[in-house]
Amino acid sequence: MWRSENNLELNAVKTVEIVVDFRKNTASASSIILCDSPVRTVESSCFLGTIITQDLKWELNISSLIKKAQQRMYFLWQLKEFSLPRTMMVHFYTSIIESILTSSITTWYTAATASDRGRLQRVIQSAEKVIGCNLPSLQDLYTSRTLRRAGKIMADPSHPGHKLFRTLPSCRRLRSIKTKTSHHKNSNWAPQQDLTPPPQPHTHTHTHTQTVTDCNPPTPHPPLHVTLTYIYALH
């Protein structure tokens, strides 16, 4: 196997399985055997600092982010007690607190509930009262990071999502992704297309006739009503 040829070993004890299945009639999935050990099936797991649940809801992840941010708010209060300049307090907030609130924000923001977004925004408002100036709202942070991420994807033809950012023949907007479920609509791809402006076409000094032959929209995603299995191997 590839892992044996590259001197890698999977830790079966720390490997878990999350089954995401939104069908009405779910079928029992057979257990996965890894290194002669069965893989545990869990309802949620933390992967690279982001808590993923089998129902693809983000309450647990957002609660974890708020807890971490509130713990660091104590140090922001300490900076105010020492009468540090406002500029330094803003730098501290941006690097220590804002970076936590925006962790994987392009993934979970559109699927988060209004209540969860309000809880995150209240942390920002608390920081504004401590620092004494306006700070970027959660919506502004999401928009800026989404545009930055979409720009990198559009500039990288080797990215798996590059083909999703295709312009219409009019070159005025990007081709929309057809969604059939709310989970697909609230995924990170469709909102990115709504926020991302289409690339500017090159200007020509001569006239020519262009024939458009590809009018079929791409098929960006497989059907959603399937059982998806995620295995996270953490050493």
Residues 71 and 43 in one domain: no
Residues 45 and 73 placed together within one structural domain of the fold: no
Is residue 225 one of the residues assigned to a domain? no
DSSP state of 219: -
194 within domain boundaries: no
Look at residue 63 and tell me if it is in a domain: yes
| Contacts of residue 99, Cβ cutoff 8 Å, sequence gap at least 6 | none
State the average pLDDT over residues 3-10.
77
pTM reported for the whole predicted model = 0.68
Domain with 82, as residue range(s), is 59-137
18-52 tens-digit pLDDT: 888 777 777 777 777 777 778 888 888 888 888 98
Query: What 3-state class would DSSP assign to 125?
Result: helix
Name which of 182, 181, 143, 166 is nearest 217 in CA terms: 166
Do 145 and 88 meet the contact criterion of CB atoms below 8 Å apart?
no
Residues 29 and 69 in one domain: no
Judged by DSSP in three states, 110 sits in coil
* 182 located within any domain: no
Cβ pair 42, 13 in contact under 8 A: no
Which are the contacts of 160, defined by CB distance < 8 A and separation ≥ 6?
none
Asked whether residue 94 is assigned to any structural domain, the reply reads yes
Taking alpha carbons only, the member of 173, 156, 154, 172 closest to residue 164 is 154
Tell me the sheet residues that pair with 231: 17
Reported as a single tens digit per residue, the pLDDT across 62-112 is 999 999 999 999 999 999 999 899 999 999 999 999 999 999 998 899 888
Dmax over CA atoms of the chain, in Å, equals 69
Asked, for residue 211, whether it belongs to a domain, the answer is no
- For the purposes of burial, counting CB atoms within 10 Å of the CB of 221, is it exposed (0-12), middle (13-18) or buried (19 or more)? middle
Task: Count how many residues are written for the chain.
Answer: 235
In a domain, 121, yes or no: yes
d(CA 77, CA 127): 9
Task: Give a yes or no: residue 228 inside a domain.
Answer: no
Are both 66 and 128 inside the same structural domain?
Answer: yes
Structural domains in the chain (count): 2
Residue 50 shares a structural domain with residue 65: no
